[in-house]
Structure formats: C-alpha cells, structure tokens
Structure 1
Amino acid sequence: MKYNGQPIVVKDFNTYMMMFAESEYGCFSEKVNDRWEIGVALSEDGFKQQSFVNGVCTIKGGKHVDYIANQIARHVCKRIKDKKKVDVKSMFVKDNLMLFVKAMIENPAFDGQTKETLTTPSSKFGSKCELPEPFMEKLYSLGLMERVIELYQFKELAKTKKEDGKKRGRISGIPKLDDANKAGGKESKDCTLILTEGDSAKAMAIAGLSVVGRDYYGVFPLRGKMINARDKQTSIKGLEQMSINEEMCNLKIILGLEQGRQYTSEEDIAKHLRYGKVMIMTDQDVDGSHIKGLFMNWIDSQWKELLELKFITAMITPIIKVKRKSKEFAFYSIGQYMTWCQTAEGKQSG
C-alpha cells in the first residue's frame, strides 16, 4: 500500500496505533480474545477513536467503541471514588482517551451504506470483551487517573471562578451585608469592610459607624468558623466544597476577589477590588481567634500577596478588664490574664 508514492508499512495493530497516538505517555494494545483487540493511548484533545468491525473501518465509531469506553470509564471512576472519595463523571475519563478497537461482530448493522457507525447493540455482538485487570493496570501506568483528576480539578476551579467577584458599584442579594457607600467606586481603595463575629457584633459595629459615617465602611457578619481552605484545595472533594460554600462566594463578591488573579500592589487593589482593606472584629477568645485565623488562611491560600500588602487588619479588644482602685488592667488573651494573676499585683487584686 502506498500514499503519495510512499509505502505505508503496518506490521501489526500496535504499529498502526503509533500512526495516530499523539501522547508523550505512549500507548499499548492487547488481544483480549480471538474476536477483540484493544489499544489505548492518552488523548491531549478530547476523546478520539480508530475502529474496525470485521475489517471495515468505522470512522465514526459506534456501539463497539462505546462498549469498551464505558468499561474503562466505570473502572477508573470506581478507583477514583475508592481512593479520593468523590464521584467523577465518566466524561472526564473519556475526554482523556484515544481508543483503538478491532472487533469481529456477528451480523453487524451500520447506520448507512458507508458503514461509518456500528449500530448493533452489545447484546447481539456474539461475543464479549471484558478488559482484564492487567490491561487496566497498564492503562493506569500511562497516567490516566492523574490526568482525569487534573482535568476534574481544572473544571472545579473554573466552577469557582463562576462565583468570582469583580469591581463594581452597588451589589444586592447578599443577606446581612451593609455595604459602604463608596465601595466599588473611584474611592474604593479608601473603603474598609468590617467582618464581625455574628449578628450581635454587627449591630455594635453599625452603632459605631454612626460616628464616622457609612461612606467608607461596610459591615458583614461571619457565621462562625469558615472551612479550612488550605486543606480543601488539595482534594477534589475539597474544591467542590469551596465552589459551593455560600460564605466564601459572598465574600468574593463583596470584596471583588477573582480566583487566580494576583494582587501584587496597592494599584492592583485600587483597580480590581471593591474595598481597600478588611478589618476583622472578633472576640479575643479561642473561637474568635479561630475565625480570624481561618479567614486569613483562606486569603493566604488563594491570594497570598494581599497579606503582604497589609490588606487585612484587626480590631483588638480586651477579653478581660480588671479594675483595682484607680487602676484598670486590660488583657487580650486568657494566657496573659493567668500570667498576671500569678504576679504580686494580681494576687493583691484577688
């Protein structure tokens, strides 16, 4: 056989596969039984196939290709669920595959005279092709599972970006947000969002704004401890949880934060964010410290440059006050108070 005067040498099925395989990971084939020979390579550009039925090239595939692709997808999805504890759709597996199928089918039916697509259902193939475990292990050795997980994580990241914020004027639809009047406008860099520990603290912050005004200060109550973003971003399930976490999504919209964007200067903050700073106003007890730490952890894990730019500040209030005669002692942690209690002055205070 020649093409443009050049001989085409195809010694076996594997040699034929190498004419199409595009992946640096390589490919392999196996004759499963007398009627089925299957080859696999990884695809860089979505699902692809080359297939034959009784020697006829089915350029559009068909039921025999679906039969093999579905087997592979089920196996990979189950393994990922067992190892990663998350359900991955079969399309993520198939989008990484290039399949080669050579099958002998009894009384094959096609979609037309050109025989481009096999329409015979698998129940009427006249034989079965159950992929053996060693075949699947070879497939995993090509890096299929890692590719599937990488694709899935990319899709999840894209999903989180759908909930991105952006710099804009007034926003609506976020419960309990009291937005600064100038947030998202020309003076947004001068605006501060106050994050409080619950509704009661928000009421106190709102009362305080009656003095300084509402133009440059917004208030939003946190509903307790946030999820640990640093832990979640290392797993598929964690990315899913972050993408649907209402509080994180709301904060991105309020602040104008965009997933994947880097804020490396004050100019970036002024240009892209709705607020120039965040002030955390939580109790100085253990719960308050956790809330503050988890918020800073989220920012650091996604937009670490903002911490270096001192985007986050905190209003520190004493957790304990002790009055002794004309003196007043303020303590900002239980440890600090307990240490003071052991001093002579502390013991005198009872």
Structure 2
Amino acid sequence: MVERPVTYALGLYWMLNDMLTDVALRIKNKLEVDIGKVDDAITICFEYRQARNFSLYLGYSSYSTFSRDNKNPQTDSSDHKSKELWVRILLKPDITYNMSLIDIAGCLGETVEVKLNGRDVGTKSFSTYVDLYLKPRAFHFVNIPRITMKISDDMEICVTLSNGHFQQVSFVNLVNTSHGGDNVDVVSNAIAKHLFKTIKEKDENSTLNSDENENQNLNLDKDENPNLDLDEDENPNKDSDVVKNHLWIFFNVKFRNPVFNLPAKDTFDHPCHNRAFTKTFELSKDFLKEVVDSSIFNILKRRFGMNEEEENLQVENLTDAYFAGREHSKDCTLIFVEGNSAESLATTGLGILGRDSFGVFRLQGILLNVRENSKDNKIIDNIMTSMGVQKNKIYEGEDYADSLRYGKVMIMTDQDDDGFHIKGLLINLFHCFCPSLLKIEGFLAEFITPCIKVTKEHDQKYFYSTKSHEEWKKTRDNNASDWSTKHHKGLGTFSPEEEGKDFFRNLENHRKYFVWDDRADEAIDLAFNKKRVDDRKGWLNNYNRMELKREWEEQRSNQVNDEDEENDEDEETHTNYTDFF
C-alpha cells in the first residue's frame, strides 16, 4: 500500500463502494469481481447466505436492478451449480473504474474467499491487511512494532507507531471511515491516556513535561482532531494528545445501525454514546497491558527522552535519530546536508520517514580536504562523533556497525559542481580515516534530484538529465509543448511541502548507492593526495568536460520516474566510486 494523491470520480466511487459493502455483508463464503473482461463492465458475483427474498436495488441511472429469480432476463447463474444460490450483478459505468477489494477482503478475513479477475486478492485476515501498510516502511523504520488483537467477535484492532502525526485506518460494517469518528476517538484516546499515564508514572523527567510537547497537539490537523478548538478545561484529552500523535490505529468493527455522515460515509458519527456503544468499543485491561509491555512503549520512551543508561548525544547541527547508538544502529541513516535549502528539504523528509532511524547533520562552514589539513577541525570532529567512527578501525562483516551510531550515510547536496565537490570531500574523509567503511555494501549513498519537471493538469514527470528529457519529447508526437516545463538548478528550487514530500515518499527512486571497485583507491587518492600534484595535472590535461558530462547524463537518464518504464535495477540504484570521480 503506497500513499499518494489520486484523482477519481467521487460520485462513482460512492456508488460502487455502497454496492460492494452492501453485497459483502450478505455473502456466504465467496465474492468474485471481474473488471473489464466483458465490454469494460464490472461484474460482481457472490454466493448469498439466505435462500429467499433477495433483491438488490441500485438507485442510480448507471445501474440496473437485478434479482435472484429467473424472471429477470439479466440474471445469469449459468456459471454456477443450480444447487447454490448465486447472484450476478453487471455494472457498466461511463468509464472503466479499477477498484480494489483489498479492504473488504481484509475485514472479512478467512471466512470469505475474495477474488479479482479470477485471482485471489491475497489478503486473508485483518493482520495481513495491516501488513500492506507497514511493509513498504520496512526499510524506513526498524522492526515496526505492532499489537494486533481480536477484542471481541465484533472488533479487531492493531496499534503501531506513526511518524509523529496521528494516523488511523478504520472500518465500520466494512465502510471505510477514512476521517475516523467516534469509533476511532474512543479507542485511540483510551490507548493514549493509558500510555501517557504509564510514562508519567515511570519518569517524571520525560519531555512530556516540557512546554514544547504540552503544546505539540496544537500543530495537529484540526480535521483529524476536532477537540483542538475546545478550551483547556473542556478538552480532557489535551495531555494525552501528545502521545496520541505518535500512534497509528487500525480498526475493524461491526456495529448495529451505525450512523455516518452523508453522502460520503467517511465519518462514524454516533449520536448517543449509550451502553451498547460503550460495550462495543471497550478495550480490555489485557490489551492495554500488552501495549505497555511491547516495544511500542520502549520506543515512545526514547521519543520522549525518558532516562536511559545512555544519555542522548548533543552535537552541534545534529538532529539525532532515536535509534542512533542503540540496538538498531546498523539500520540508522545519517543524512548530510549542505545549506539551508537542503536542510529544509531533509527536515520535511523526516516528517515522512520519521526520526526513529533517520538523522540529519548540517554541514556548516568549509569542509576541508583532511589529507592536507592536520589541524583540529570542529566540523570533522562533530561528524566523527555523530557517526561514532573510530579512526583507522577496520569495519567488516555483518556486525560492522555494532560500535557505530549510524550504519548508513546519505549525502544530500545540490546537483551542481559545488554539490559534487562536497560529496567528494565527504568520501575523502571516510577514505582517509576509515576506508573499510566505503567497502561495506549499502553504507554510502547520494540523494539525487531531477533537473527537469514537466506537468500537464494532474500528470507530472521528472527527468534527471537533459538527454532523457529530449528523448521523451521525441516520443510525444509534437505535443510536448502541451506540458509545462520547469528547470531545477538546486535543492532550493523545490518546494519542501510538494516535491520534497514526494521525493521522500519514493526514497528508493532518489537514493543511489556507491559501490566499491578495484580502481576506487587510486581514483580517490589521485583527486585528494597533496603529494600527487603532477599526476593530477596529467589527469586534468586529459579532462574533457563535455564528454564526461554526456557519459554522466547517460547514467542519470535511467532515473526517469516513469511508472510505465522498467529500468535496469543496477544502473538505477548504484554507481561506483571510480566513475563518480
């Protein structure tokens, strides 16, 4: 499951969603949907669980009315045995609409077999449904903790951690309440209050006492947190909202006669919190205890600065990852940025990736060639301290990062000459003090950004070289002028809230790893060794800037962010040190 903006026909979505949820509540053990196999129509076929008096009336002009009896000429049960009670619904909307049955399959669980175009959708339970959201974050986040429990026959819940902004995915009677409602508020507030109380009891010195975190809830989205408009005395959840920001709740419940906002049905708005309501959404003490005993609570303690054996590292210009220097240091990445624009973009990235396994170090001042400067340099000392690197130590094997605070590095600079120089100086720093790290696969990467962006209405494409952009224009049959073109000269030309968030949501398209090769030692030494002036002169005399630029752009052309193209993985995600220099 990938989060990204999409455009769809809202009215058609409501119609199809109403139809599918109504059907899913009535089925016995099988639901099949075919899209586009016959005249671009959507065909829904299911086995009904009762034997009589079934009719499904769809009150929209693009629907037809179907019933189970043989009097309706549009009913077709010929594909199934006569002993079974099957209903076939054929919908042909004005446009082909690819819709997903994954939500329904996840909520119905193992009791119902759900197929799309003849294939099992692969979601067998609510737990496997949650996996779809959490697995894409696996390389961003270390060992994503979660607690999943079936509270009763009517309610399933999963609790995990967000990146500092409250998130929820909830269903009431198979209806996706994307904006939450009373169901989400009651459950999430109960969990947050319990965690808040436990944290306060265990450590009075946590940052939950600080003014910063006491007011943190004021920065939340008011659409997701309606209580923000209340006075302090009227908002009993004010303190626990700080903890709630760090929770992600998945919620599947069955409720008799639910009340939704209309027509969207994206909010559960029950008018009366009566005994039946309270009983349905009540969490057991065992569940709350399991949450507190899990790694969710341990990570929250780190986020709120609770006293631990190892104090948090204080280094100038370092925004430290929560896991840095701890159990999962190997999976932590330190992002080196140069300049305010890069720092702004990286800070936006932390809002997407979270601070559990990502930190940011801002390079302030002049980064020197460490081979030529034997004097103490504050920037270099801070880099070594932030990384936990020991000079001249040999790092190798799977446990190479046991003594490091960060097991990975990503360099984020402008894609111009100055940016390349900074990358080279950082590579030179590691090569001089701990060359074995550069030989570790996946240790060092660069963050690459496009140089050209084209847009047309809601469509957009990125290009990483002028050559790839020119080749794309040749394929447009003279309509490339219909697309608006913007050239980007540096990180400061990107909007952190727009392109920045998009870049970090698709980090693997922008993170390119350096790979060690046999000539890397020679290439780095030739570029930075003070004693090799004559060799360097000969190297530069043979330097053809335009030829090398063309070669480099050919490599970058494989980075076009086009979902319709499948590029070679090695060319797309790796470059060796020799080619870089």
Q: Is TM-score (shorter-chain normalized) higher than 0.5?
A: no
The structure that has the greater radius of gyration is 1
Higher relative contact order (CA 8 A, sep 6+): 1
- In the superposition, the TM-score normalised over structure 1's length comes to 0.43
